[in-house]
């Protein structure tokens, strides 16, 4: 079964095999493994000095929640650019953490509203931070990180990035952008297994964040100090998952790092979009805002359309896809990430063609 979904996603046999060892958390081998993974992740984010990575047990949301809780002061606040479910989730996280939050909302099919952000920052001095989703997995839209960073910089605010489904495949230098921290996880473009997430941050910002976090287990400052002191995790580390991530980072480097990984995903995207267009299915987003991570397709406007049957039939042919996450119209999503290659996408396009015919949606009807 190929998972054409943005997490959990298809992993490689070597990555899974790396989990076949039990590591003691205090064992020097594991302490060195943790150090190595932290350094490799930092190096993927920027060549600049003064940056560090704090890994955290859990799925990606745990890291986003830890980032907001650790960096936004209790008497500060965050303006969140929202154009999808993951932006909305950061708003919810900030509310639960009791932080002042302003949602700057744009339509899911549109770019973030930077003019509105500009006004909001102008009028609300309590807002110390701006938060943005780099690749909004709700639709597959890549948000303009540089432009958002420029607005934050102009107003002297700090920028927090949910880089979950972009980090490792889309290029950016967090130091040059003026980012304060970026959250991501093992099980997106790095193609590790689920169970560990991480925040890449300026060490100076981490040092200044003592006592801010609203939850002990999500306190990145505290975990960072422990790593710096003796290399240890505060609580039971996901040892097998970290070993798999270390191996996945080898494969990432062997593929040519961020550039190589991004190139394969773009090749996957091209096969997918061209193939489904021949079947009358076209992406929701225009090409200039469509990222190479996941694609949202509006469902065929045809009475015979039935997502559940479509999903089950594709599953029977060895492919798992995603339901749409849009509130407005029925859609479905197909991921381009994980251990999948253009040939897999070619087979997928064929499977979609067969399935549409089976459902009574012949190619000519599908658009
Ligand atoms: C996957 C993802 C997350 C984290 O989701 P989890 O289910 O907690 O792993 C957060 N933000 C974005 C943009 C994502 O794609």
CA 171 to chain centre: 13
Pocket lining: 65 vs ligand 1, CB cutoff 6 Å = no
Residue 317: both structure tokens together: 């042919």
Ligand 1, residue 134: give the atom nearest the CA.
Answer: 13
What is the average per-residue pLDDT within 193-203?
98
Q: What is the mean pLDDT of residues 321-338?
A: 88
Residues 257, 261: Cα–Cα separation, whole Å? 6
Q: Tell me which residue has its CA closest to atom 4 in ligand 1.
A: 60
Closest CA to ligand 1's atom 2: 164
Centre of ligand 1 to C-alpha 3, Å, is 16
Q: Which of 8, 56, 58, 60 to mutate to test the pocket of ligand 1 (most atoms within 8 A of CB)?
A: 60
Instruction: Give the pLDDT of residue 362.
Output: 72
Range of lowest pLDDT (162-166, 207-211, 323-327): 323-327
pTM of the model: 0.96
Q: DSSP assignment, residue 73? A: -
Cross-strand partners of 185: 197
Most distant CA atoms of the chain, gap in Å: 64
Is any atom of ligand 1 closer than 6 Å to the C-beta of 185? yes
Q: Which atom of ligand 1 is nearest to the CA of 133?
A: 13
Residue-level pLDDT at 365: 52
Q: Ligand 1 in contact with 58 (CB < 6 A)? A: no
195 Cβ closer than 6 Å to some ligand 1 atom: no
Looking at residue 119, what is its pLDDT?
98
DSSP 168: T
Residue with the two structure tokens 């909305």: 88
Expressed in angstroms and rounded, the spacing between residue 64 Cα and the centre of ligand 1 is 9
Q: Measured in angstroms, how far is the CA atom of residue 131 from the centroid of ligand 1?
A: 15
More confident residue, 7 or 269: 269
* pLDDT value at 327 more than 70: no
- pLDDT tens digits, 133-191: 999 999 999 999 999 999 999 999 999 999 999 999 999 999 999 999 999 999 999 99
- Angle at which helices 239-254 and 28-45 pack, to 10 degrees? 40
Q: Among residues 170, 156, 96, 165, which one has the least CA distance to residue 127?
A: 156
Whether the predicted pLDDT of 366 surpasses 50: no
pLDDT at 301: 84
Q: How crowded is residue 61: how many other Cβ atoms within 10 Å of its Cβ?
A: 17
Whether ligand 1 lies within 6 angstroms of the CB of 339 is answered as no
The CA–CA distances, whole Å, from 58 to 13, 35, 184, 271 equal 22, 18, 11, 33
Q: What's the gap in Å between 324 CA and the centre of ligand 1?
A: 15
pLDDT tens digits, 64-112: 999 999 999 999 999 999 999 999 999 999 999 999 999 999 999 999 9
pLDDT band with cut points at 50, 70 and 90 for residue 364: low
Tokens of 107: 């339509």
In this structure, what token pair is assigned to residue 7? 């997490």
Mean pLDDT of the chain: 96
Give me Rg for the CA atoms of the chain.
21
Question: Which pLDDT score, from 0 to 100, does residue 363 have?
Answer: 56
pLDDT tier, 367 (very low <50, low <70, confident <90, very high otherwise): very low
User: Which of the four pLDDT bands, split at 50, 70 and 90, describes residue 324?
Assistant: confident
**pLDDT-derived band of residue 314, with 50, 70 and 90 as boundaries?**
very high
Interacting residues of 322 by C-beta distance below 8 A, sequence separation 6+: 4, 5, 6, 294, 332, 333, 334, 335
């Amino acid at each position: 079964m190929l998972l054409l979904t943005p997490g959990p996603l298809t992993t490689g046999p070597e990555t899974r095999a790396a989990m076949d060892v039990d590591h003691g958390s205090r064992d020097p081998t594991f302490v060195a493994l943790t150090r190595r993974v932290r350094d490799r992740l930092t190096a993927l984010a920027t060549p600049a000095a003064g940056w560090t990575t704090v890994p955290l047990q859990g799925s990606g949301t745990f890291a986003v929640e830890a980032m907001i809780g650790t960096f936004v002061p209790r008497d500060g606040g965050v303006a969140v650019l929202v154009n999808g479910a993951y932006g909305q989730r950061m708003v919810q996280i900030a509310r639960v953490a009791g932080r002042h939050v302003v949602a700057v909302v744009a339509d899911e099919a549109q770019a973030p509203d930077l003019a509105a952000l500009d006004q909001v920052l102008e009028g609300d001095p309590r807002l110390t931070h701006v938060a943005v989703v780099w690749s909004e997995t709700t639709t597959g839209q890549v948000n303009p990180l540089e432009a958002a960073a420029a607005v934050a910089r102009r107003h002297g605010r700090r920028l927090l990035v949910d880089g979950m489904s972009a980090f490792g495949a889309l290029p950016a230098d967090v130091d040059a952008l003026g980012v304060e921290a970026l959250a991501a996880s093992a099980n997106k473009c790095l193609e590790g297994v689920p169970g560990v997430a991480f925040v890449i941050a300026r060490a100076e910002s981490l040092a200044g964040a003592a006592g801010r976090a609203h939850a002990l287990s999500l306190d990145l400052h505290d975990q960072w100090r422990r790593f710096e002191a003796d290399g240890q995790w505060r609580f039971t580390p996901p040892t097998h998952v970290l070993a798999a991530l270390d191996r996945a980072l080898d494969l990432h480097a062997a593929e040519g790092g961020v550039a190589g990984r991004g190139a394969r995903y773009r090749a996957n995207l091209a096969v997918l979009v061209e193939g489904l267009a021949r079947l009358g299915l076209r992406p929701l987003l225009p090409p200039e805002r469509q990222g190479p991570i996941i694609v949202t397709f509006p469902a065929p406007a045809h009475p015979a359309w039935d997502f559940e049957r479509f999903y089950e039939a594709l599953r029977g042919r060895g492919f798992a896809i995603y339901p749409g996450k849009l509130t407005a119209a029925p859609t479905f999503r197909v991921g381009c990430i994980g251990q999948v290659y253009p040939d897999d996408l070619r087979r997928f396009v064929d499977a979609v063609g067969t399935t549409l015919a089976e459902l009574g949606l012949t190619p000519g009807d599908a658009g």
